[in-house]
A and B are shown apart, each in its own frame.
Chain A
Amino acid sequence: MNPSEEHELDQRLAALAGDVGAVLDLDAGLAAILPATPRPPAVSTARRDRAGTTLRGFADHFAARPPHERVVARSWLPRRELAAARSFTLLRAAVPAHDHLARTRDVALTERIEHRLREHASPRDLVALRADLRDRARELGRDLDDVLDRAVLSALDLGVGLDLGQARAAADDLARARALTTTVDHALFLAVTIVVGTARGRTTTRTRNRLRVLLADLDLPASGYDVGLLVRLNTVRAAARDVVLARERDTADLLAVVLDQARDLALDQARQRVEGSVDAAARALADALATGPHDDVADDVDRITDAVTDVVDADLAHVPLDGIPLEGLRWSERTRWHQAWQDRVRRGSVELRPGLYEVRADTADAGAVT
């Protein structure tokens, strides 16, 4: 197995675990179990008290509207805010997946260390192994950072202020704690090898030297390789593992809270943009956003986005497109366009597959400005 294949497998497993959240309707599942489903406290009382449909209800209703209404909605739909809320929701779902990924890697790493040590470890191997451990720990930290970075980018794009410093520090801590616990695991394995080797009367000088290096890393005295050392190492190991597990939980919890807040902020901004609009559908969206809770944001936003994207075979011959951003619209040969726009749309589109076209960004800009 090479590292890139392993990494790819881990990513696929993490994606599987992460995406499961998107296909589950936890509200419906809970409603089937509880006598009355309690609502999470994320939604303010003022919001709860307002009558209105849910975002899902809006998405379903909106998707059923005729094509010309859906295209016109592009002029008021807060797509950037909704996309950010979707992104935060998916990142939130990815947090437990990351946790799984990290644990899977730990096991794979321990396995690899033991294989390499059993065979023919030289001092050079040991140096390489320690570098590998450090790299792996940093990689885990980087993955968490990556989740944070994507959250920060979405937040910056929206002008949402997020305090991610604490979460980032937690990610660094976690990486350090992981490096510590793998070093202790490694030392423990060597110590056991030495104790067993001594009992069998075998020379274990090289192993002793390797263990000394690790014990120095851990600030543990290396006098004697007896049961006492094993007990001490086991204690350190248990403590290190506890630290890692606790920090993993803390980091995951912290990330989850930050991302939930970010999602709520993005949805609130979306609501503010459409509240008070002259368009009835826009006001319906504002109501839906105010109603909450928003547990299925990703799926709902996907539905809404599909509805404002798909005009395959639609008759838009009587729809002037002035001021409507057209980027991303998907259309077919049978889609009919307003006469003044037909050529521009055709020129500004790319063919995705035979008979299916997509409007490129520059046409959208022209449409918005005109």
Chain B
Amino acid sequence: MSGAEPAEAPVGGTDQVEVPGQAGRARAGHEVAFTDFYRATTPSLVAFLVVRGARLADAADVAQETMAAAYRRRHDLDHPRAWAFRVASRALARRLASAREEPVAEPPEPSPLLRPTAIENWERHHDVARAVTRLPERQRQVMAWTLAGSTPAEIAAELGLRADTVRSTLLKARRALIRDLHGNGGDR
């Protein structure tokens, strides 16, 4: 065993002793584990943020920042996936709030994560991404966490709600989306 550790279970708080010659391999092990984690998590994290109401560019930016922070803290995180979704969700909430306060802020540098040519076409194609931005905040949160694979009980714990409320909010969100998508002519 050369020190490679599973992506979901980094060694929390344990200082690994790296003897000369093994240090490179151990670091490579960490990086491979993070690479796997990054590849597996980032697309669903970006989709989660889009359903939370972010523009694709913002979603990619927040996801990238979150993953960079996850890399820095990789030894401290027991559940990096759950951590990433929670941190990204809060970062997005802050970003949306500050955008409302400073509507003329300079557009940020595009994230390296996003292919620049793809944005416009993607946003045009996915009318559901536009439709979610018209949902109330609470419904967007519940839709996004559901799409990220959380159960109503988990969402309830995350958002400080009752599971029943989560379910009825989800139902309302789905109804509203269906109404919206069909109200716009039901076209693709």
Contact = CB atoms under 8 A, between A and B. Distances in A.
Q: Do A and B come from one complex?
A: yes
Interface of A: 1, 5-6, 8-9, 12-13, 15-17, 19-26, 28-38, 40, 93, 96-97, 99-100, 103-104, 107-108, 110-111, 114, 299
Interface in B27-43: 28, 31-32, 34-35, 38-40, 42-43
23 contacts: A6-B174, A9-B177, A13-B51, A13-B128, A16-B128, A20-B47, A22-B122, A23-B115, A23-B122, A24-B115, A30-B39, A34-B71, A38-B32, A93-B43, A96-B43, A99-B149, A100-B44, A100-B148, A100-B149, A107-B146, A108-B171, A110-B152, A299-B118
Nearest to B28: A38
Interface in B55-72: 56, 60, 64, 67-68, 71
A24 B167 contact: no
Q: Per DSSP, are chain A's interface residues mostly helix, strand or loop, or mixed? A: helix
B119 A17 contact: no
Nearest to A115: B171
Contacts, number: 133
B77 interface: no
A103 B143 CA distance: 11
A5 B44 contact: no
A29 B47 contact: no
The secondary structure that dominates the B interface is helix
Interface stretch (B85-93, B94-102, B106-114): B106-114
Given A16-B50, A40-B35, A100-B47, A111 B175 contact: no
B178 interface: yes
A35 B68 CA distance: 11
Contacts of B43: 17, 20-21, 24, 26, 93, 96
Interface string B149-188: 1011000000000000001101100110110011000000
Contacts of B146: 103-104, 107
Given A22-B118, A25-B115, A103 B149 contact: yes
B135 interface: no
B113 A108 contact: no
A24 B68 CA distance: 16
Contact of B114 (A12, A19, A24, A33): A24
Nearest to B129: A16
Most chain B C-beta atoms within 10 Å of own C-beta, residue among A9, A15, A29, A35: A29
A93 B112 CA distance: 20
Given A5-B182, A12-B128, A111-B170, A24 B46 contact: yes
A20 B171 CA distance: 24
A179 B68 CA distance: 40
B115 A299 contact: yes
B125 interface: yes
Nearest to A24: B113
A32 B167 contact: no
A12 B42 contact: no
